[in-house]
Amino acid sequence: RVTLRWVWRAVYLGAIGSVGYLGYTIYLLRTPSEQLEADPAKKTLVILGTGWGAVSLLKNLDTENYNVIVISPRNYFLFTPLLPSCTTGTIEHRSIMEPIRNILRHKQATVKYYEAEATKVDYAKKVVYINDESEIKGDVMSTEVPFDMLVVGVGAENATFGIPGVREHSCFLKEVGDAQQIRKRIMDCVETASFKDQSPEERKRLLHMVVVGGGPTGVEFAGELQDFFEQDLKKWVPEIVDNFHVTLVEALPNVLPMFSKQLIDYTEKSFKEESITIRTKTMVKNVTDKTIEAEYTKPDGTKEKEIMPYGLLVWATGNALRPVVKDLMSQIPAQKDSRRGLAVNEYLVVNGTENVWAVGDCAIANYAPTAQVASQEGAFLARLFNSLAKTDTINKELASLSEAQAKAAGDQRTQIFDQIKTLQKSLRRVKQIGPFEYSHQGSLAYIGHDKAVADISWLSGNFASGGTITYWFWKSAYVNMCFSWRNRLLVCVDWVKSSLFGRDVSRE
């Protein structure tokens, strides 16, 4: 009985301790401490973007070493892996957004943030030109920001390959606004299809949801959309049951080219079971307000033209360069042969420059344009910049100690000599930062119907799996990767909410 009492006491104390710790953590999060002011003697480091690359850099950077300025039209970080879930309301978009102000306010030294788009980088003048693109504008809408060091992390825009009608008639899936637009349009198509006296052909067209691009974005969205139909729309709008249909169009012979053959086959089989049509070897050539014109390559190699009527078209065919990146590349002769982005060396320095670095989708470092790569690149740059700053400080200390040593004599001279040796040792350690090496943790994708596929790098081998257990792994991995505890909590609450009450089918 005495032992039991002690066990209970330990449990009580543990619980009180945990609650106290949680409370203290929340208090710290909500009460940022005073920050060091900008120091004109320090170098100005300008960071363009608030995405995976830039935020990972900011998170790991010792900001007291530089005057840091962040420029981005988006004043939040977006956890893109869960964005497809926002298109159907499985997750609310605010749950995967983290305000950049929160992130910056917790840094040791002040970081300036300007909500603006960088329109041009003048490499020779070391200046970034910025524009306020927001709705509300003040007297000053455009200005310039000088830099000593610049990190370009502006990501990429949607590739359309100049196909006519794509920009005008389709939805993309890159930003929060895109997901909101898709969510509205799904419900608009559903309600318009149910409009009185709608003809059967028009009803069929309106309920034909076409996704172009069989990469992970297209596949995940198609899976989410079919889930929405099966789990909610079918119940609340039964009159659409016979006509609602999802088609995934892909130019290559298969979807998910970056996954192993086994998982590609698994995904294609699952889609068939879920009644999602996959149209491979079908290249979209033209888009009008109601139809898609595509070219299908038959097994004998001949081509066949096809017209597909659609209600909703989601365009997910990968990345293209942003104009600001294109313009910067045109100023640097060493970038002449680079087509897909800023070519960088193994320290992520933009080739042909000394003080410009690039991270993420806008940089070409022989890795796929993924969040995983961008965030590892950002963390690497932070280590590099922290080390550069420490090197600078140590060099200054060494210079002053050498001066003092020249003037000193006897014991004092020996003491300074020892100090110099210690500093030289730490200088060697600090300088020992190797080139960037990407460590691939694997690829994960949700494919609908509570199934996911995973190609995981494990013990220097590869482990491929697909199904419901992988789906739970996908869920826990992504919750774990969310930016903050607030995001994690909100995402979990959204999952519980949508599975208990269903997704919201109202159109905002």
Residues that bind ligand NAI (CB under 6 A): 81, 161, 163, 212-218, 220, 249-252, 257-258, 283-284, 316-319, 368-370, 443-445
Size of the site for ligand FAD (CB under 6 A): 33
Question: Closer CB to ligand NAI, residue 120 or residue 475?
Answer: 475
What is the largest distance, in Å, between two alpha-carbon atoms of the chain? 103
322 neighbors 72 (Cβ within 8 angstroms): no
**AA letter at 220:** E
CB of 507 to ligand FAD, least distance (A): 22
Q: What are the tokens at 337?
A: 């042969």
Q: Which helix (H) or strand (E) holds 404?
A: helix 371-407
- Candidates 42, 43, 59, 74: give the one binding ligand FAD (CB under 6 A): 74
Alpha helices by DSSP H, listed for 432-484, are 468-481
- Candidates 99, 309, 369, 502: give the one binding ligand FAD (CB under 6 A): 369
- Report DSSP letters for 200-266, one per residue: HHHHHHHTEEEEE--SHHHHHHHHHHHHHIIIIIHHH-GGGTTT-EEEEE-SSSSS-TTS-HHHHHH
120 neighbors 142 (Cβ within 8 angstroms): no
∠ Cα 302 170 75 (to 5°): 135
389 binds, among ligand FAD, ligand NAI, none (CB under 5 to 8 A by kind): none
51 binds, among ligand NAI, ligand FAD, none (CB under 5 to 8 A by kind): ligand FAD
Residue 353 region by backbone torsions, left for phi larger than 0, else alpha for psi between -120 and 50, else beta: beta
Q: Which range in 24-32, 44-52, 243-251, 278-286 contacts ligand FAD by CB under 6 A?
A: 44-52
166 neighbors 160 (Cβ within 8 angstroms): yes
Q: Which residues pair with 121 in a beta bridge?
A: 128
Cα–Cα dist 291/295, whole Å: 13
Q: What are the tokens at 478?
A: 């992504």
Nearest residue to ligand FAD by CB is: 51
Cβ atoms within 10 Å, residue 143: 12
Would you say the C-alpha torsion 333, 131, 134, 162 has a positive or negative sign? negative
Q: Which residues pair with 286 in a beta bridge?
A: 293
Q: Decide if residue 267 touches ligand FAD (CB under 6 A).
A: no
Per CB under 6 A, contacts with ligand FAD among 156-195 are 173-174
∠ Cα 254 256 261 (to 5°): 70
Tokens 């365009």 locate to 315
52 binds, among ligand FAD, ligand NAI, none (CB under 5 to 8 A by kind): ligand FAD
Q: Decide if residue 153 touches ligand FAD (CB under 6 A).
A: yes
Q: Which range in 65-73, 342-350, 427-435, 462-470 contacts ligand FAD by CB under 6 A?
A: 65-73
233 binds, among ligand FAD, ligand NAI, none (CB under 5 to 8 A by kind): none
CB of 210 to ligand FAD, least distance (A): 17
Q: Which range in 151-159, 195-203, 292-300, 484-492 contacts ligand FAD by CB under 6 A?
A: 151-159
Q: Decide if residue 356 touches ligand FAD (CB under 6 A).
A: no
118 binds, among ligand NAI, ligand FAD, none (CB under 5 to 8 A by kind): ligand FAD
288 neighbors 169 (Cβ within 8 angstroms): yes
- Candidates 45, 47, 50, 351: give the one binding ligand FAD (CB under 6 A): 50
Question: Closer CB to ligand FAD, residue 178 or residue 268?
Answer: 178
Cα–Cα dist 348/222, whole Å: 35
CB of 1 to ligand NAI, least distance (A): 55
48 binds, among ligand FAD, ligand NAI, none (CB under 5 to 8 A by kind): ligand FAD
Q: Which regions of 298-358 does DSSP assign to beta strands (E)?
A: 303-309, 312-315, 319-320, 342-343, 356-358
Q: How far is the CA of 247 from the CAs of 172, 208, 417, in angstroms? A: 16, 7, 74
Cα–Cα dist 164/187, whole Å: 26
Find the length of the chain.
Answer: 508
413 binds, among ligand NAI, ligand FAD, none (CB under 5 to 8 A by kind): none
Q: How far is the CA of 179 from the CAs of 81, 107, 183, 465, 485, in angstroms? A: 12, 31, 6, 28, 23
72 neighbors 54 (Cβ within 8 angstroms): yes
CB of 68 to ligand FAD, least distance (A): 15
CB of 490 to ligand FAD, least distance (A): 18
Question: Closer CB to ligand NAI, residue 187 or residue 444?
Answer: 444
Per CB under 6 A, contacts with ligand FAD among 310-329 are 322, 324
- Candidates 46, 48, 222, 284: give the one binding ligand FAD (CB under 6 A): 48
Nearest residue to ligand NAI by CB is: 215
Question: Closer CB to ligand FAD, residue 117 or residue 494?
Answer: 117
210 binds, among ligand FAD, ligand NAI, none (CB under 5 to 8 A by kind): none
73 binds, among ligand FAD, ligand NAI, none (CB under 5 to 8 A by kind): ligand FAD
Which residues here bind ligand FAD, judged by CB under 6 A? Answer: 48-54, 71-74, 80-81, 83-84, 117-118, 153-155, 173-174, 217, 322, 324, 360-362, 369-372, 374
